[in-house]
Amino acid sequence: MNTSAKKVNKRSNDPIDKLIFENDLRASYLVIDKKLDMLLAVLNNGKVLRDRISNYPRLKAATQLQLEQWELSGKGIAIHWPDLNEDISIKGMIRSIAVDQAVAMLSEKEKV
């Protein structure tokens, strides 16, 4: 029995997936500074995602020169480091940044 007629094009319920795909977000360039523990992804809409290199064990262990050997993959959906065998998606960066921000917010001492 062929069920191809019953296939449904389901969209993700994940809010980050929706954000990325409904706004067609893609990385267009990357700036990396190991000394500053900084990973900046410049998106095609001009916005910048700022993450920490130390959030990614393989990147943390890499040299500055190795970090600079990146390439965009999936038309900008992800960043790939061939020599490090590492891939980071835009979705993964957004999640990492959100977790860092939540931890920082919840760790703040409340002023009385």
- Ordered per-residue pLDDT tens for the chain, 112 residues: 455 555 555 677 889 999 999 999 999 999 999 999 999 999 999 999 999 999 999 999 999 999 999 999 999 999 999 999 999 999 999 999 999 999 999 998 776 6
Domain regions of the chain by residue span: 13-107
Beta-carbon contacts of residue 34 (< 8 Å; ≥ 6 apart): 53, 62, 63, 64, 67
Cα gap 16→22, rounded to integer Å: 10
- Output the pTM of the full model: 0.80
Distance, in Å, from the CA atom of 46 to the CA atom of 1, rounded to the nearest integer, reads 49
- The fold of 13-107 is NE0471 N-terminal domain-like (3.30.2020)
Q: Which two tokens stand for residue 8?
A: 């449904």
Query: Is the backbone of residue 109 left (phi > 0), alpha (psi -120 to 50) or beta?
Result: beta
